[in-house]
């Protein structure tokens, strides 16, 4: 059988490297892998131009537009990007903001309201710290460089105070100058590193994130993988083939990271960090499949409603292509390479 050729784009994570190199190949599929594109550009090119057959996608953008019936893509239960966001809240040291509750009523800089990182951060602030996020004015703009509004920007369904800093200014500079007292950003603002005027709200954010995971079981999902819906309807078997390949590529990366002969990544205490992660997560911190991710996915849908991006929580099963889960998964998190 001639392999089906599919054009795919993702960030070049370690967990997809084997797919890019061909060490792992999806059954019946030949991948034309496009790498080196920033995640945001992948999302825009897929959402606005349908440029790829398969691509990484913002979980917020996908879930919101799919649930609204406005997105001709279907997702795989594959989640290549996950990040805690307690460390993504930054304040001007002179702002007087020392606790999450003091964010209420302030103007807070962000890249875009519907950004997945922002959805997780706002939900955490509401549910864990009783912050009334409806009192906040959200000021959109580029974090470290100019940002122009895009056609794929998604707006909340109801009244939310959102303004725009302009195309020639940055959120980082505005927080450093005190024009904005705080920012929430997936990307670290340059002013945190290059000035002494900006700090993280949570000084020990890593401890906050560990505590959050231990209480909720949620390691926040940032991105999923989507395919064109017309392609899926014509060739539904590709969902299972791709899912298995992503599982196998992730297992390959885990084995490589566990190799003790040399350091496979430029992290001096990599193996000790992996041991610590094992102690917290009890194994694979990046599980794929719906059942392994029902908790964080349902939490995220609740946050989308809390942010006014959805009127009601969609069923998780309605957002993802059904696959036989666990196929291709390997116990690579306790076994290194010989």
Same domain for 11 and 94: no
Q: State whether 300 and 206 are in the same domain.
A: no
Q: Does 62 map to a domain? A: yes
Is 97 in the same domain as 31?
A: no
Distance between CA atoms of 47 and 301, rounded to whole angstroms?
20
This prediction's pTM: 0.95
DSSP H helices in the chain? 17-21, 39-49, 59-67, 116-129, 171-177, 190-194, 205-216, 229-234, 238-258, 270-281, 294-306
- Cα dist. 186→28, 69, 117, 166 in Å? 37, 27, 6, 19
Number of domains present in the structure of the chain: 2
Distance between CA atoms of 200 and 214, rounded to whole angstroms? 22
CATH number for the domain that contains residue 302: 3.40.190.10
Q: Looking at the structure, tell me whether residues 143 and 191 fall in a common domain.
A: yes
Maximal C-alpha separation, the chain: 66
62 lies in which domain range? 4-82+221-249+286-318
Characterize the bridge pairing of strands 107-110 and 182-184: parallel
Using the Cα atoms of residue 159, residue 306, residue 146 and residue 57 in order, give the sign of their dihedral. negative
CA distance 25 to 28: 9
Say if 255 falls within a structural domain. Answer: no
Residue whose entry in the numeric block shows the structure tokens 């994130």: 209
Single out the residue of 220, 253, 224, 254 nearest to residue 323, CA to CA: 224
CA distances from 62 to 51, 87, 92, 283 (A): 16, 24, 33, 28
Residue 198 placed within a domain: yes
Residue 155 φ/ψ, nearest 5 degrees: -105, 150
The pLDDT value recorded for residue 327 is 78
pLDDT at 140: 96
Looking up tokens 């059954």 gives 27
Q: Which two tokens stand for residue 241?
A: 């083939």
Whether 92 and 208 map to the same domain: the answer is: yes
106 lies in some domain: yes
Residue 335 lies in a domain: no
In terms of domains, do 66 and 129 share one? no
Question: Are 96 and 179 members of one domain?
Answer: yes
Residues 195 and 234 in one domain: no
CA–CA distance, 9 with 42 (Å, rounded to integer): 7
Q: Are residues 122 and 100 in the same domain?
A: yes
Indicate the SS3 state at residue 89.
strand
> Would you give per-residue pLDDT tens digits along the chain (338 residues)?
699 999 999 999 999 999 999 999 999 999 999 988 999 999 999 999 999 999 999 999 999 999 999 899 999 999 999 999 999 999 999 999 999 999 999 999 999 999 999 999 999 999 999 999 999 999 999 999 988 766 667 899 999 999 999 988 999 999 999 999 999 999 999 999 999 999 999 999 999 999 999 999 999 999 999 999 999 999 999 999 999 999 999 999 999 999 988 898 899 999 999 999 999 999 899 999 999 999 999 999 999 999 999 999 999 999 999 999 987 776 544 444 43
Task: Give the model's pLDDT for residue 154.
Answer: 87
Same domain, 23 and 145: no
Residue 268, domain member (yes or no) = no
The verdict on 78 and 226 lying in the same domain is yes
Residue 257 within any structural domain of the chain? no
Residue 72 has what pLDDT? Answer: 96
> Is residue 189 included in any domain, yes or no?
yes
The token duo for 214 is 């231990």
């Amino acid at each position: 059988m001639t392999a089906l050729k599919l054009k795919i784009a993702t960030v070049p994570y370690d967990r997809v490297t084997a797919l890019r190199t061909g060490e792992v190949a999806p059954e019946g599929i030949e991948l034309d892998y496009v790498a080196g594109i920033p995640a945001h550009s992948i999302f825009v090119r897929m959402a606005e131009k349908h440029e790829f057959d398969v691509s990484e996608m913002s979980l917020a953008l996908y879930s919101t537009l799919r649930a609204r019936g406005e997105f001709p893509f279907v997702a795989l239960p594959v989640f290549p990007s996950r990040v805690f966001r307690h460390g993504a809240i930054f304040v001007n040291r002179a702002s007087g903001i020392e606790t999450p509750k003091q964010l209420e009523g302030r103007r807070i800089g962000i890249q875009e309201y519907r950004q997945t990182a922002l959805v997780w951060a706002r939900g955490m602030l509401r549910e864990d710290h009783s912050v009334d996020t409806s009192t906040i004015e959200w000021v959109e703009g580029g974090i470290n460089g100019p940002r122009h509004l895009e056609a794929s920007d998604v707006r909340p369904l109801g009244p939310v105070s959102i303004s725009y800093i302009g195309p020639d200014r940055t959120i980082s500079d505005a927080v450093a100058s005190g024009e904005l007292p705080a920012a929430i950003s997936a990307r670290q603002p340059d002013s945190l590193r290059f000035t002494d005027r900006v700090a993280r709200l949570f000084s020990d954010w890593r401890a906050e994130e560990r505590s959050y995971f231990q209480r909720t079981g949620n390691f926040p999902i940032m991105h999923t993988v989507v395919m064109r819906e017309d392609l899926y309807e014509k060739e539904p078997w590709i969902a299972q083939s791709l899912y298995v390949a992503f599982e196998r590529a992730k297992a390959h990366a885990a084995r490589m990271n566990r190799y003790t002969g040399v350091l496979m990544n430029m992290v001096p205490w990599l193996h000790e960090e992996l041991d610590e992660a094992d102690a917290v997560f009890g194994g694979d911190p990046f599980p794929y499949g719906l059942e392994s991710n029902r908790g964080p996915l349902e939490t995220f849908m609740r946050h989308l409603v809390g942010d006014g991006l959805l009127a009601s929580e969609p069923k998780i099963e309605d957002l993802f292509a059904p696959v036989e889960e666990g196929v291709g998964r390997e116990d690579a998190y306790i076994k290194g390479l010989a």
